[in-house]
Amino acid sequence: MPFFDDVSVGDTLPELKKQATTAQLVMYAGASNDYNQIHYDQDVAARAGHKSVIIHGALKSAWLAQLVTDWIGTTGALAKISVAYRGIDYPNDPITCKGTVTGKRTDSGRNLVDCDIWLENGEGAVTTPGKATVALPGR
């Protein structure tokens, strides 16, 4: 758990490794009520030009939120998160969630830290870039 006073611009967040399975995608479809067949039907995905079914964008967003909340622990708070879907990710491919601190400030008594966050596929390409702001306690 970081304290605001100990965080510096340029710090990196601990990486979060993920590797979705098709079973996880089916479970996520049920939990999120997102039954688009491109996430679980190989024939539909192939007709759309994909090598396999594709990972839900919202699941990738959740992984990036987990990256940030794992880093801040229970004493911090996720104030804002946004992501953009720039690439397709597939089950069974390694996924790495990464982040770096880009700024810090105090606003209305809250200690806020801004971060760039992103998801990389196994080839190192960024498929899901984003930004997050967290509130951290002071010492």
Cβ distance 42 to 53 under 8 Å? yes
Band (pLDDT 50/70/90 cuts) for residue 116 is very high
Q: Provide the mean pLDDT of the chain.
A: 96
Band (pLDDT 50/70/90 cuts) for residue 45 is very high
d(C-alpha 29, C-alpha 78), whole Å: 25
The stretch 116-133 carries a mean pLDDT of: 97
Spatial strand order in the sheet of 95-107: 16-18, 95-107, 110-120, 126-135, 77-83
Q: Which fold has domain 4-135?
A: Thiol Ester Dehydrase; Chain A (3.10.129)
Beta strands in the chain (DSSP E): 16-18, 77-83, 95-107, 110-120, 126-135
What pLDDT, in 10s, does the model give residues 30-42?
A: 999 999 999 999 9
Encoded amino acid at 84, one letter: A
**Residue 58, token pair as written in the block:** 């919202």
Residue 87: is its pLDDT beyond 90?
yes
Band (pLDDT 50/70/90 cuts) for residue 1 is confident
What pLDDT, in 10s, does the model give residues 2-33?
A: 999 999 999 999 999 999 999 999 999 999 99
Q: What is the pTM of this model?
A: 0.95
- Domain limits of the chain? 4-135
Give me the pLDDT at residue 63, please: 98
Of 13, 131, 121, the residue nearest 61 (C-alpha): 131
Q: Tell me the percentage of the chain whose pLDDT exceeds 70.
A: 100
Q: Tell me the percentage of the chain whose pLDDT exceeds 90.
A: 99
